[in-house]
């Protein structure tokens, strides 16, 4: 029989996958390989440290039968620890910030963990900060183990003993550049220590979000004021014990926009479905690789799966709300969908045989000033409040007239796939456009709807 003793046996030995379509289009000569940490059983690189920190605690007698594991986490270390807890019969409590995706939060609960959520805006060292909260809960919980992934030596050690050797083995020692992010710093520090021991010429590049302190801290020795960013799991407001910045040759700052764009491109164009931090790293890898030739060998970490972010940057609606969506992906259907998110299918219209009075009442009730005239789901005309009122001033009797007798021309009708550029061009000349999907008018887009998405 072929089987693993438990789920933890599946951790590690993740494959390398070459990037093809994106590098070809960018005319990058150097081969770039993705280290697929998203294929671990908890779908992230952090499974490796979950098991190594618990192994340490069991060996040292810190964690005993029936004990509780308590950790501050952006989610993935929690998932790694929860797998160990499930397999070995421990309880666990994880302290997250409210920036962590709902998917990771629910995943942790599904694995049996208890969750405490702290404000992401709380400053390090204050009682509401997620690390201080985890520490406090562990002090108050008997027979508990607080790994402290930011400082625990078993974190980089896991990567020194597994991630580094795997990359060296699978590239047959050909790796020239290693690119990773810096969260706790465990992945980049442990992996790079092994790789540089094997070949000191290997260059290590850290990719860090704008707003995190690592680049300025490494380049100047000064810890700047952090600013918020949207990518999860990486960057810090303060240096960590496990981030050995001396082993990193260069740190590159990457914007949220670029991180999410790259993660979305990896998913769509290479089939590598990944999280935002992978996008940050891949953006860094591309910047490094563009100056290299075919003799180089660039390896970057795919930190976790895109499934953790389906309601975040993998959703066009979320990207649009954050003003991060690529303009070519803003279609008529998407504008309509987000505009009507609270009340789908709620297009306000009149029929040609309704009266002017009916139309004015509908506009008034719905707080709109122009509506399409629809017959059998086709657009046959339009009415605007100001036009109707002008006509009524001249002849009050028109209140009972049929809409068919007073309506203006139809608003232009565009397909659901119409681009923002097409929509904007029509709105230069018309106050609104209608969106047609499967031969049915489904939405109206006005000038202010477009202004809203371009704030
Ligand atoms: C999504 C994601 N990417 C990257 C990292 C960074 O890894 P490390 O803590 O080893 O620096 C983390 C850490 O939690 C993470 O959750």
Same fold flag, 47-145 and 327-452:
no
Is residue 236 within 6 Å of ligand 1 at its C-beta? no
- Give the tens place of pLDDT for each residue, 216-233: 999 999 999 999 999 999
Nearest protein Cα to ligand 1, atom 15: 233
Q: What is the CATH superfamily name and number for domain 327-452? A: CBS-domain (3.10.580.10)
Testing ligand 1's pocket by substitution, the residue of 184, 236, 281 carrying the most ligand atoms inside 8 A of its CB is 184
Domain 47-145 CATH class label: alpha beta
Testing ligand 1's pocket by substitution, the residue of 35, 48, 74 carrying the most ligand atoms inside 8 A of its CB is 74
- Looking at residue 345, its pLDDT comes to 60
- Looking at residue 115, its pLDDT comes to 97
Whether the pLDDT of residue 107 is over 60: the answer is yes
Q: Which of 24, 29, 35, 46 is catalytic?
A: 46
**How far lies 83's CA from each of 56, 60, 320, 370, in Å?**
16, 20, 35, 56
- Give the tens place of pLDDT for each residue, 352-376: 999 999 999 999 999 899 999 999 9
- Give the tens place of pLDDT for each residue, 34-71: 999 999 999 999 999 999 999 999 999 999 999 999 99
Q: How is the chain split into domains, by residue range?
A: 7-41+160-317, 47-145, 327-452
Rounded to two decimals, the pTM is: 0.83
CATH 3.40.50.1100 fits 7-41+160-317, yes or no: yes
Contact in structure between 435 and 332 (CB atoms under 8 Å): yes
Mean pLDDT in the chain?
Answer: 94
Contact in structure between 254 and 275 (CB atoms under 8 Å): no
- Looking at residue 455, its pLDDT comes to 54
- Give the tens place of pLDDT for each residue, 268-300: 999 999 999 999 999 999 999 999 999 999 999
- CB-based burial, 264-277: b 16+ in 10 Å, e otherwise: bbbbeebebbbbbb
């Amino acid at each position: 029989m072929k089987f693993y003793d438990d789920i933890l046996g599946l951790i590690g030995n993740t494959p390398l996958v070459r990037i093809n379509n994106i590098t070809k289009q960018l005319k990058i000569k150097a081969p770039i390989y993705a280290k697929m940490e998203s294929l671990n059983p908890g779908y992230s690189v952090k499974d490796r440290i979950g098991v190594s920190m618990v192994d340490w605690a069991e060996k040292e007698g810190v964690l005993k039968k029936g004990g509780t594991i308590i950790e501050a986490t952006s989610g993935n270390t929690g998932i790694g620890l929860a797998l160990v807890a499930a397999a070995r019969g421990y309880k666990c409590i994880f302290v997250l910030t409210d920036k962590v995706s709902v998917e990771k939060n629910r995943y942790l609960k599904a694995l049996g963990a208890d969750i405490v959520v702290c404000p992401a805006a709380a400053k390090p060292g204050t009682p509401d900060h997620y690390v201080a909260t985890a520490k406090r809960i562990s002090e108050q919980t008997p027979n508990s183990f607080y790994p402290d992934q930011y400082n625990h030596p078993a974190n980089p050690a896991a990567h020194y003993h597994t991630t580094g050797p795997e990359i060296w083995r699978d590239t047959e020692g050909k790796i020239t550049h290693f690119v990773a992010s810096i969260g706790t710093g465990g992945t980049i520090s442990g992996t790079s220590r092994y790789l540089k021991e094997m070949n000191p010429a290997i260059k290590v590049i850290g990719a860090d979000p704008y707003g995190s302190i690592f680049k300025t801290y490494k380049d100047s020795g000064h810890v700047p004021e952090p600013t918020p960013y949207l990518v999860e799991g990486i960057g810090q407001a303060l240096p960590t014990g496990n981030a050995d910045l001396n082993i990193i040759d260069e740190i590159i700052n990457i914007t949220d926009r670029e991180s999410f764009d790259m993660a979305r491109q990896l998913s769509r164009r290479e089939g590598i479905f990944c999280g935002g931090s992978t996008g940050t790293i891949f953006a860094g890898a591309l910047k490094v690789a563009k100056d290299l030739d075919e003799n180089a060998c660039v390896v970057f970490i795919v930190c976790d799966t895109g499934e953790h972010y389906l309601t975040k940057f993998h959703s066009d609606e979320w990207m649009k709300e954050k003003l991060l969506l690529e303009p070519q992906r803003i279609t008529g259907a998407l504008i309509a969908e987000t505009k009507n998110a609270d009340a789908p299918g709620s297009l306000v219209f009149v029929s040609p045989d309704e009266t002017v009075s009916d139309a004015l009442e509908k506009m008034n009730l719905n707080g709109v000033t122009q509506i399409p005239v629809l017959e059998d789901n086709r657009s046959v005309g339009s009415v605007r409040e100001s036009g109707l009122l002008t006509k009524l001033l001249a002849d009050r009797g028109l209140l009972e007239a049929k809409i068919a007798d007073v309506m203006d021309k139809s608003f232009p009708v565009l397909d659901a796939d119409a681009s923002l550029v097409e929509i904007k061009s029509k709105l230069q000349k018309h106050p609104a456009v209608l969106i047609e999907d499967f031969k049915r008018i489904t939405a109206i887009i006005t000038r202010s709807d477009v202004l809203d998405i371009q704030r």
